[in-house]
Chains A and B, each alone.
Chain A
Amino acid sequence: MTTMKFTKDHEWVRMDGDLAVIGISDYAQKALGDLVSLELPKVGRVLKQHDSFSIVDSMKASSDVYAPISGEVVTVNSDLNNNPQWINESPYEKGWMVKIKPANAAELDTLMSEDDYKKYLSGLGSH
């Protein structure tokens, strides 16, 4: 697996060739609980860093998912529409949500490494 970067809002991003693959972290899926539906963005939508690009619905609540970096949506994981539980089962592999073409690769440097994210989580306390 190539290096993943994380946001404070619990999204992850990793480069796959020219494209950035984005999803939500294992911590996020556990906090949300069983996911039952979601709304993915349209291909071609241009996202700015921190834009809400998706809404995920768990049994108890609906939550926004924010773009870790800016870019244009190239592909969405439309299999998730009928299998939102993949995000619970496999948040970093089968549960990827979108691939975007980064507008500004330097934004990746503003994100946390996996180690930093782990430290960040331990600072949040137990949930």
Chain B
Amino acid sequence: MSLKKTPLNAAHYRLGAKMVEFGGWDMPVQYTGIIEEHNAVRNAVGLFDVSHMGEVYVTGPNAKKFIENLITNDVNKLVPGQILYSPMCYEHAGIVDDLLVYKFSDDHFLIVVNASNIDKDFAWMQKNSQGAELVNHSSDVGEVALQGPKAHSVLQKLTKFDLNSLKTFYFAEFEVAGVKCLVSRTGYTGEDGFEIYVQAIETENIWNAILEAGQEFGIKPCGLGCRDSLRLEAGLMLYGNDMTENVTPLEAPLKWTIKFDGHEFIGKKVLLEKPLTRKLVGFELQERAVSRHGNEVYINGQKFDYVASGIFSPTLQKPIGFAFVPVDLPMGGEIEIKIREGKMVKAKTCSHRFYKRKL
């Protein structure tokens, strides 16, 4: 099967990106270097192609009821123009995917899901549709993420809309570089930033306009490599690594996204009743090495579970990651990680939020 391509595929090759397969897509992992791109987002601004993400429109009188049942977070709390982050679970409380819900009105929502899960998610939504109308627009929509402390300044050059009025986790529809876009103040990097949705055929125009406007701020096109290191430092979970159908949102640590009161949802019963035995926490390796997804985790010499995500943090200049540990292991507890056959490395647990931006 040939790899799927975003509307920016040719642009990536022209920019000399190193391309890799990601969830069935031909995507840039880096343009000039992961660390250089990572630092551009932390210190200035970076632009990502995230057109591979999936977009499902939900409409009709049952739209809100459908979402209320679908996700663990409470859609009733949303006002028009607001966005909600949530996992959606199976009955056994394992995670189907994590997603963003954009509310236009009580009978009109947009749900944004992970690229590699689009087909699975859409089938799951249809199965639980409760009469809501669902349309998968993933192939018609392009998306870029503009992230970093200079993102606001770059985007403001391209629109008359006052970006100061767009708060975190809100969205609005306005023209960017003369093209109608849906713009949300969201991201996956731990920095201020925007995610910009546009008709697929206009994606490259927006991409080029932003890169040009960002030149004076040191903008860099950024690949999936630094997207992973940035989100990990910021304590943001990645589906497939940290969340799977075998991980519940209580383990993940996504307790803040579960609203038990006020609504029924798929997986609620198990989440309320199943005893918690493990939890995902942050860790720091005690020597300079790198642990990666799937490495075995040992507690007092006994194999316990696995490393969910691991990376060498460019911002903190040390090896960090997320691992599943016993639920009663105290913060700062010692674990061991088998980073490869014959090589055990000590690590200490810590908060999964390694990096917080200064406000």
Question: Which chain A residues have a beta carbon within 8 Å of chain B's beta carbons?
Answer: 33-34, 36-37, 39, 55, 57, 59-60, 62, 81-82, 127
Number of chain B residues whose Cβ lies closer than 8 Å to a Cβ of chain A: 17
Q: Could you mark each residue 333-350 of chain B with 1 if its beta carbon is under 8 Å from any beta carbon of chain A, else 0?
A: 000000010010000000
A34 touches B290 (CB 8 A): no
Query: Which residue of A has the minimal Cβ distance to B311?
Result: A59
A81 touches B288 (CB 8 A): yes
Chain A neighbourhood of B78, CB < 8 A: none
Query: Which residue of A has the minimal Cβ distance to B339?
Result: A62
11 contacts between A and B (CB under 8 A): A33-B18, A37-B290, A39-B289, A39-B343, A55-B340, A57-B289, A59-B229, A60-B29, A60-B225, A62-B290, A127-B18
Query: Which residue of A has the minimal Cβ distance to B292?
Result: A62
Query: Given the known A-B contacts A59-B34, A82-B288, are A37 and B225 also in contact in the complex, defined by CB atoms under 8 Å?
Result: no
Chain B neighbourhood of A57, CB < 8 A: 289-290, 312
Distance in Å from the Cβ of A8 to the closest Cβ of chain B? 21
B289 touches A59 (CB 8 A): no
Docked Cα-Cα span, A60 to B228, in Å, equals: 10
Chain A neighbourhood of B33, CB < 8 A: 33-34
B35 touches A34 (CB 8 A): yes
Chain B neighbourhood of A34, CB < 8 A: 33-35
A37 touches B289 (CB 8 A): yes
Distance in Å from the Cβ of A47 to the closest Cβ of chain B? 17
Does B138 reach chain A (CB closer than 8 Å)?
A: no
A37 touches B288 (CB 8 A): yes
Docked Cα-Cα span, A28 to B225, in Å, equals: 18
25-39 of chain B: CB within 8 A of chain A: 29-30, 33-35
Query: Which residue of B has the minimal Cβ distance to A85?
Result: B35
Query: Given the known A-B contacts A59-B35, A60-B29, A62-B340, are A33 and B225 also in contact in the complex, defined by CB atoms under 8 Å?
Result: yes
B312 touches A60 (CB 8 A): no
Query: Which residue of A has the minimal Cβ distance to B312?
Result: A36
A60 touches B288 (CB 8 A): no
Does B319 reach chain A (CB closer than 8 Å)?
A: yes
8 other contacts beyond A33-B33, A57-B290, A82-B288, with CB at 8 A cut-off?
A33-B18, A33-B225, A37-B290, A39-B289, A59-B34, A59-B311, A60-B29, A81-B288
Q: Could you mark each residue 213-253 of chain B with 1 if its beta carbon is under 8 Å from any beta carbon of chain A, else 0?
A: 00000000000010001000000000000000000000000
Query: Which residue of B has the minimal Cβ distance to A35?
Result: B312
Distance in Å from the Cβ of A52 to the closest Cβ of chain B? 11
Docked Cα-Cα span, A37 to B292, in Å, equals: 13
Chain A neighbourhood of B312, CB < 8 A: 36-37, 57, 59
Chain A neighbourhood of B340, CB < 8 A: 55, 62
Docked Cα-Cα span, A39 to B29, in Å, equals: 25
Distance in Å from the Cβ of A85 to the closest Cβ of chain B? 8
Query: Given the known A-B contacts A57-B312, A62-B340, are A36 and B30 also in contact in the complex, defined by CB atoms under 8 Å?
Result: no
Distance in Å from the Cβ of B149 to the closest Cβ of chain A? 22
Distance in Å from the Cβ of B323 to the closest Cβ of chain A? 18
Distance in Å from the Cβ of B253 to the closest Cβ of chain A? 25
